[in-house]
């Protein structure tokens, strides 16, 4: 009966608009929730008489969808481990309760923002109990290759603030000027000495003593020096001896012309380096290329260590940690060095809106979302990671209030339909009188 179908359509309209109002109220309630993704209600009409015959009102059916790929604006904070994703991609996290149980790997969840701080074990955890996941770096700061289509390689990002660490010295670059007058006839032949500190594999301080002995000819100038290197870690043993000859031509005067190896590693003319064996292993010492003026030179009458650079550092304490735009977690030490300790990837899926919404603004990949892939932040389709930032709610309060007015009017109209049908049924009942 048509009048009965009108009643059913009115009831369906009330239910559909009640669903829409629930979505609007949820969006408004979370207008200040960081990382919240708004819910959108959609209506589809129901046609009951598509096969012909008399018309019957089918009503309406409502469905809701969370718009996960819609981002809110970013706001700055004062915490270096407040993170937000700018662009496509999501941060991998896990529930702290699952991590604490340790029963296999925790389930990977995804979020677009989080305020992470270290807990009692040094893990980066949000106030809602989400642990940030990442790939651990090697001791030298490089991140090995991990599988990109699975979360098996991810582990909780752990920052040991009380950790002591040191970095051994493996390379030294010398910029030293030797006095040309010392290789002239009549000079005393007294050597010039230079002591360079380095750090061994245990962070201890050691020294390489470099002795520059000039070759003094009977007449003229030899422009030749004997460079001898000794290592304090080996009781002053000689680790390398080289004969240096400098050019005295007008265009290239004072630069290296030849390096002859007496003992130790051979001189590499391409890189300008020699490799010697100190107590902790091989060490590269760059003395400059042939004809170049940025290494050892022989000019004028002064011995001048112009520049000495080296890697390595003494043992120091970790004082802070920050995440850069590519997702690398940098630990800073009080010795001034910075080391990469983790890499946080960004996870991307073909259909982010197909994920299952969980608590705490987290989402779980599903068959509808497609297979996920772990990208380096800033690579491929993904955006970058922003530190000192949070993502605001994607709710537009003005828009939601406008939708609320429309929903209220629609609900009232459907209620009026039911009231009208009721009055018509009452009139039908009164016919018998």
Question: Average pLDDT of each block of 10 consecutive residues along the chain (433 residues)?
Answer: 79 92 96 95 82 75 92 95 96 93 84 94 93 92 93 91 78 97 95 96 93 96 97 96 96 96 96 95 96 95 95 85 95 85 96 95 95 94 96 95 95 91 85 75
Asked whether residue 185 falls in the same domain as residue 219, the answer is yes
Domain boundary (311, 341, 373) is at 311
Predicted local distance difference test score (pLDDT) of residue 33: 95
Q: Which long-range contacts (CB under 8 A, 24 or more apart) does 204-210 make?
A: 205/314, 206/231, 206/232, 206/233, 206/278, 206/279, 207/231, 207/232, 208/172, 208/232, 208/239, 208/278, 208/283, 208/285, 209/236, 210/174
| Measured distance CA(378)–CA(327) in Å, rounded | 9
Model confidence over 54-68: pLDDT tens digits? 777 878 888 899 999
Model confidence over 213-248: pLDDT tens digits? 999 999 999 999 999 999 999 999 999 999 999 999
The token pair that represents 190 in the structure block: 């007294």
Which parts of 168-255 are beta strand (E)?
171-178, 192-199, 205-214, 224-231, 237-246
Predicted local distance difference test score (pLDDT) of residue 161: 66
Contact 376, 59 (CB under 8 A): no
Instruction: Find the domain containing 419 and state its range.
Output: 2-67+395-430
Asked whether residue 189 falls in the same domain as residue 303, the answer is yes
Asked whether residue 286 falls in the same domain as residue 240, the answer is yes
What letter would DSSP give residue 359?
Answer: S
Asked whether residue 375 falls in the same domain as residue 249, the answer is no
Predicted local distance difference test score (pLDDT) of residue 422: 84
| Measured distance CA(58)–CA(60) in Å, rounded | 7
Asked whether residue 342 falls in the same domain as residue 401, the answer is no
Does 302 reside within a domain?
yes
Domain count, the chain: 3
Contact 27, 39 (CB under 8 A): yes
Predicted local distance difference test score (pLDDT) of residue 314: 86
Where is 329: in which H helix or E strand?
strand 328-333
Does 290 reside within a domain?
yes
Which residue from 140, 83, 118, 109 is spatially nearest to 323, judged by alpha carbons? 83
| Measured distance CA(27)–CA(24) in Å, rounded | 5
For residue 151, give the 3-state DSSP assignment.
coil
- Can you give the CATH number for the domain in which 223 is found? 2.60.98.20
Contact 132, 157 (CB under 8 A): yes
Asked whether residue 339 falls in the same domain as residue 361, the answer is yes
Contacts with 240 (C-beta within 8 Å, 6 or more apart), sequence order: 227, 228, 229, 263, 264, 265, 274, 276
Asked whether residue 212 falls in the same domain as residue 239, the answer is yes
Asked whether residue 183 falls in the same domain as residue 282, the answer is yes
Does 285 reside within a domain?
yes
Does 316 reside within a domain?
no
CA distance from start to end of the chain: 22
């Amino acid at each position: 009966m048509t009048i009965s179908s009108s009643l059913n359509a009115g009831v369906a309209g009330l239910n559909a608009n009640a669903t829409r109002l629930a979505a609007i109220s949820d969006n408004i309630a979370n207008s200040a929730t960081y990382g919240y993704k708004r819910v959108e209600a959609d209506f589809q009409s129901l046609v009951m008489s598509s096969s012909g015959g008399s018309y019957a009102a089918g009503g309406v059916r409502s469905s809701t969808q969370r718009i996960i790929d819609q981002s809110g604006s970013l706001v700055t904070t004062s915490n270096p481990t407040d993170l937000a994703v700018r662009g496509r991609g999501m941060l991998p996290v896990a529930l702290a309760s699952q991590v604490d149980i340790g029963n296999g790997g925790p389930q990977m969840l995804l979020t677009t923002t989080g305020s992470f701080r270290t807990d009692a074990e040094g893990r980066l955890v949000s106030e809602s109990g989400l642990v940030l996941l990442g790939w651990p770096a090697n001791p030298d700061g490089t991140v090995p290759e991990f599988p990109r289509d699975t979360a098996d390689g991810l582990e909780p990002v752990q920052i040991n603030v009380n950790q002591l660490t040191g970095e051994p010295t493996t390379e030294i670059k010398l910029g030293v000027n030797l006095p040309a007058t010392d290789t002239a006839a009549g000079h005393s032949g007294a050597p010039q000495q230079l002591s360079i500190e380095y750090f061994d594999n245990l962070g201890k301080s050691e020294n390489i003593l470099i002795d520059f002995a000039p070759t003094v000819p009977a007449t003229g100038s030899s422009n030749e020096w004997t460079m001898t290197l000794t290592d304090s870690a080996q009781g002053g043993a000689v680790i390398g001896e080289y004969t240096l000859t400098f050019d005295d031509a007008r265009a290239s005067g004072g630069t290296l012309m030849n390096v002859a190896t007496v003992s130790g590693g051979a001189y590499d003319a391409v890189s300008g380096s020699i490799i010697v064996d100190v107590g902790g292993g091989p060490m590269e010492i760059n003395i400059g290329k042939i004809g170049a003026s940025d290494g050892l030179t022989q000019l004028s009458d002064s011995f001048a260590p112009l520049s000495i650079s080296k890697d390595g550092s003494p043992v120091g304490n970790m004082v802070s940690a920050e995440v850069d735009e590519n997702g690398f977690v940098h630990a800073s030490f009080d010795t001034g060095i910075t080391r990469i300790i983790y890499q946080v990837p960004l996870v991307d899926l073909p259909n982010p809106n197909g994920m299952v919404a969980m608590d705490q603004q987290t989402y779980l990949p599903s068959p509808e979302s497609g297979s996920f892939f772990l990208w380096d932040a800033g690579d491929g389709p993904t955006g970058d990671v922003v530190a000192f930032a949070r993502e605001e709610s994607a709710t537009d309060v003005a828009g939601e209030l406008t939708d609320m007015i429309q929903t209220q009017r629609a609900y009232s109209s459907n209620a009026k339909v039911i009231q009208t049908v009721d009055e018509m049924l009452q009139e039908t009942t009164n016919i018998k009188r």
